[in-house]
Each structure stands twice: as structure tokens, then as C-alpha cells.
Structure 1
Amino acid sequence: MSQQLLPNCNGHCLAVTFLVFVIIAAFVGKTSASSQIDVDEDLKHLIGRCHRDEANLDAYNDCMKQVFNDLRAYFTTGVPSYNIQPFDPHHSSFVELRRGDPHGPGSLKLILRNVSEYGWSHSEVTKFHSEPKDQRIVYAQYFPEKSLEGEYEFLAKILGTELRRQGHWNLTLYDYSQTTSVRRVGEPGSLLKVHMEVDHIGRMELHIGNLLQGQPLNQLADGVINSMWQLGLPFVRPMINELVSTAFTDIFNESFRYFPLEKFLS
């Protein structure tokens, strides 16, 4: 990386640079057979394209946005030599959401297992900015189409009545956008925290297996959900944000927490 990129760079600056860098690194690696030398040279070249200038942060942010978009073709490969997993598809083995007190009048528990998420290779980063003081980067992303699938377990208790369901589910979102924030919560090597917010959904198709008893009722439930989801979105949006943020925090820490940034700073 050019020394011009890190003028008077303190610990906070390096941490933010780390966050920027490791996300870019996730999208590098032309094929699974690429050599270590090729990957390292690509990383140095890519970072060198964008020079951080405190007097003109807009130009730097635009440059970083373009770097993300130039690398969409690499989302499917990851960087095996640095244990960075592919981003398309994402995989999450376990995500859990709880609401209420299981010993009280009402509660809810939702577990998603073996979740796969597709569509990143066709997404576009539309905004990017960094917040050095808070060790954070934030980027907005648009997906013409994003799809997810996996298994679910659902348990709800309402006034002593228990409802249990489990099965397969799949979801496709069209004309979809989200904003993702990635922050380091301490010194280098400490945990990364990811928060995702749903910004817009143009259209949605959702199927939840075994939600009701019997195939005709399940088809009816799918039809009702897919025709009226806009009415319920304000209520379920916080839960969607929480589920996805939890999954992304695990994914980012597994791949990026110990990435050797110092190797590319010379």
C-alpha cells in the first residue's frame, strides 16, 4: 500500500483501514487455484487505487465504492489462502431469535439452520463512507434479486397455548436494498460487529413449509403472506435486521478478524 494512504495514521485510522481492507480482500482471488503471489499482488494493487485524503473524503469514498463494484466477479471464490470464505452464496449454520419470557404469558423463538444466501455477484454498492473515530465503515448495496433458503424451527407460547412448527423455507427479494455497518469494538484482533438495515423491498416471494397443517392450507398461507407482506413489514423489519446482523457478525469474524493487514502496509 502506498505510504500516501496512511499519513499520520493512528490506531483508530489503522483499525478503520483494516475494516475497509478485509472486506475488499473477501472479493479477491480470480480462481480457487490462484497462487499466493497473485492474491497478494492483487491486494496491493487494489488498495493502491484509493488514497485517503482527509481534505477530500468524497473522492476516497467514491473510489472505494468503485473498487467494491469492480470485484463483483470474485464474490464466489473468497480467498482460501487467508481462510476468507466466498460471499456468494453466504452460508450460516445457525441463527436464533428470541422474544418474550418463555415462563411468562407470551414468548417466541425462531431458529434458522443451514441458511444459504444468493445474489451478491449481481449486487451493486451505491454508497460508501468510513468513520475513523468510531472504527466503522458503512456501505449501501442494491440487489436486483436476492434469494435465501434453509430450515426453520419455530416455537411460540401465547397465554399458555404452545405452537411448534419446523420445515424448509425459501425467500426471494426483488428490487432490494440494504445498508451494512461494520465496526471494530476494540483493539486490533478484537471482535467485528456487523449491523444490517433493510432499506427497500420492491417485491417478495416467501414459502414456509409446514406453517399450517396440510398442503392446501400451506398454499393459502403462502398466498396471503405474499400478497400482504407490505402491511406486516414495519413490524417484522426489526426482527429481519436482527437475524441478518447476527449471521453477518459471525461470518465477518470467522473470515476477517485475524487478517494480516500489516503484510500489505509496506
Structure 2
Amino acid sequence: MVARYSGASTATADCLVRTSLLLLTAVATVSRTAEAVLSVNATPEYIHPCRKSDTQFNNCIKQTFNHLRPYLINGIEELTVPPIEPLLIPKMQMENGHGAVRVRAILSNMTIHGASNYSVLNVRSDMNKFRIDLGLFIPHIEATGNYDVNGNVLLLPVRSRGDFWVSFENVTALAKLYGVEVKKEGVAFMKTDRLGVGFKLENSDFKIKDSINRQNVIGEAMNVFLNENSAEIIEEMKPAASQAIGKHFKNFLNNAFLQIPLKVWLKDSE
């Protein structure tokens, strides 16, 4: 039983890594601090503009995001958007203080491959309220990095730190963007007010190298335990992970959105 409890502690850390990274890839468009602002008369090649009056508006927005994909692979220099292949995440923190899983997790130095292979499956929008829901599909994702987890699971103490590797197959995700209109020097922009994500996946594989519990459990036993219990732990951590990731990526998305006037990508906006 001792080995199983230790396995639970370290396996829980793995579940948190998997949950956070999966949601991260659902909103993989990352940008740095904004400096320049596009002219309202500009139509860059990476922008596929739409009109709210278009009877096929949702389909147009779908084309806009799919059109953007090859440019994100190499980065967009004038918006200071770096390449997303690989996608680099310096640090992500989340905390869950309710239920059976009460932990604080920090993921750092993350390198994610495969996010650029996303495709937009469907779009639902209400641009009068600046709402956009995106259904996404990513066939394969691999990620590496460091993790640090501290807390309790079912009254069992959890303390684990080390390196991880994880892969996912056939990921479907839903990204919900809640925006507001803001003006800078009389020019209208859309600002991301909230961002939420959810996901499903078919298969996953993972390995961790715990640096503080080396003498307590065999690595293969940890992976077996995680395979048997990961679904319950991931489900428990989804709200906390979604909140942390939404807050984190909202700021990055705004660095890009607040450089592109509404009239550049929404031609009949006021």
C-alpha cells in the first residue's frame, strides 16, 4: 500500500500536467508585449476580413482562423507574435482549493509541438456582444517541461517535482471568447474580457521523472496508477485549470487584438 500511495502522489502531479497542457494548446496563439498598432486602412496578408452583415458570417470567421494558421507557424513580426511551432510557455500556475483534489501546481519551461496543426471545426458568434465560440481539432500534441505540485488528494499528502513528457491524440476543444469594444485615440478595438476552454481526447501517453520521490516508487508503477485514475483527477481539476489558463492567455491575446483595429478584420464595424 505504501508504494500505491506514493504512486498516487506523483501520478496526481502528472494528471495536473496533462490537464494544463491540453487546455493550453486549445488557445495556442501567443504574443509578446504589443508596441505598434495597424492602420485602419491596412489589410495584411494574414488577415481574412469578414462583415457582420454576411449571412455566412460564422463560416467566414472559421476561414479567418484557418487562414491565420500558416502565419502563426512562422510568427507575425509586425504584431510581435512569435512562432508557435514549437509553442513555448515560460510558466503557468493553477490552484484548486475544493473537493478531493486540493493542490497548487506550477508548470514551467514548457515546449509544445503540434499546436500549429489545429483546424477550426465550427464557429458560433454574436459580434453585437463580441462573443466567439471556436470548436477546434488537433491531431497530435507532444510537450515537455518541468512541474512542481504541492497539496492533498483524498487526505494523502502530495509533494512532487521534476520533469515531464506527455503526448495526446485526437484532441477536440472548445474555446469561448468574451470580448468588449474599447477605443484608443478614437479607433475601435476588441479586447478579450474572458477566455474559457474545455476539451476531450482519445488517447494520451506520458512519462515523468520525479526528483524528490525517487526512493518511494518505481516509475512504471506510477504510470500504471495514472492510467487507472487519471480521468477522475483530471475531471476534478478542470475548473481550476480552465480558470488559470483563461486568465493567462487573455493577456497574451489582448496584445494581438489591441493592435488590430476592428475595421481591419470586421469591415462593416462602426
Look up the equivalent residue of 1:42 and give its one-letter code. E
> Which residue pairs with 2:206 in the alignment?
206
SS in 2 for 1:259: coil
- Identify which of 96, 112, 117 aligns with 1:117: 112
| Matched residue type, 1:168 | D
Shift of 1:75: 2.3
- The match for 2:231 is 230
Question: Structure 1 residues 128-137 or 174-183, which shifts more?
Answer: 128-137
Deviation at 1:126, TM superposition (A): 0.3
Task: Determine which of 78, 81, 102 is the counterpart of 1:81.
Answer: 78
Within 5 A, what are the aligned runs for 1:155-234?
155-157=150-152, 163-185=158-180, 187-188=182-183, 192-210=192-210, 212-214=213-215, 217-234=218-235
Q: How far does the alpha carbon of each residue in 1:27-67 deviate from its partner, in whole angstroms, 9 at most, with x for none?
A: 9xxxxxxxxxxx954156x21xx33326x2xx111122123
Shift of 1:85: 2.8
TM-score (norm 1): 0.68
C-alpha contact 1:75 1:120 (8 A) present in aligned 2: no
In structure 2, how many angstroms separate the alpha carbons of the residues matched to 1:222 and 1:120?
Answer: 25
**Structure 2 unaligned residues grouped into runs of 5+:** 1-26, 32-41, 185-189
Aligned length: 222
Contact preservation (8 Å) 2:93, 2:107? yes
Cα separation, partners in 2 of 1:193 and 1:69, compared to 1, 3 Å: same
CA–CA separation in structure 2 for the residues paired with 1:67 and 1:206? 34
| Distance in 2 of aligned mates of 1:163 and 1:228 | 15
Cα distance change on mapping 1:92 and 1:26 into 2, 3 Å: closer
| In 2, Cα distance between equivalents of 1:262 and 1:241 | 27
What's the offset of the Cα at 1:191? 5.3
| Match for residue 142 of structure 1 among 120, 137, 140 | 137
Comparing 144-153 with 88-97, which one deviates more in the overlay?
A: 88-97
1:99 paired to 2:96: yes
2:59 to 59, 62, 76: 62
* Shift in CA distance, 195/70, structure 1 to aligned 2, threshold 3 Å: same
Match in the other structure for 2:121: 126
* Cα distance in 2 between the residues matched to 1:126 and 1:89: 22
Task: Give yes or no for the alignment of 1:42 onto 2:42.
Answer: no
Looking at structure 2, the residues matched to 223 and 161 of structure 1 have their Cα atoms a distance apart, in angstroms, of 18
Gaps of 5+ in 1: 1-22, 28-38
Identity of aligned residues (%): 16
- Find the counterpart in structure 2 of residue 245 from structure 1: 246
Distance 1:40 1:66, change over 3 A: closer
Deviates more, 1:198-207 or 1:223-232: 223-232
CA distance in 1, matches of 2:153, 2:79: 47
1:259 matched to which residue of 2?
A: 259
What is the aligned partner in structure 2 of residue 14 from structure 1? Answer: none
Counterpart code for 2:236? F
Q: Which has the higher contact order (CA 8 A, sep 6+)?
A: 2
- The SS at the match of 1:52 is coil
Compute the RMSD of aligned alpha carbons.
3.6
Deviations along 1:70-117, whole A, 9 cap, x unmatched? Answer: 34322212211222233333322221112339xxxx952111112233
- C-alpha separation between the residues in 2 aligned to 1:188 and 1:164? 47
Give the 3-state SS of the residue equivalent to 2:85 in structure 1. Answer: coil
Change in 2 beyond 3 A, CA 1:263/1:65: closer
Contact 2:96 2:240 in 1 (8 A): no
Q: Is residue 46–residue 71 contact of structure 2 (8 Å, CA) maintained in 1?
A: no
Letter in 1 for 2:166: L
Q: How does 1:14-53 map to 2 (within 5 A)?
A: 40-43=43-46, 46-47=48-49, 50-53=50-53
Given residue 79 of structure 1, which amino acid in structure 2 is its aligned partner? I
Conserved 8 A contact 2:167-2:204: yes
Conserved 8 A contact 2:169-2:204:
yes
Cα 1:214–1:26 change in 2 (3 A) is closer
SS at match of 2:81: coil
Structure 1 residue ranges, 4+ long, deviating more than 3 angstroms after superposition: 157-163, 188-191, 230-233, 262-266
The equivalent of 1:7 in structure 2 is none
**What TM-score results when the alignment is normalised by the length of structure 2?**
0.67
Cα distance in 2, alignment partners of residues 154 and 160 from structure 1: 15
SS in structure 2 opposite 1:252? helix
Work out the CA distance in 1 between the residues paired with 2:127 and 2:263: 21
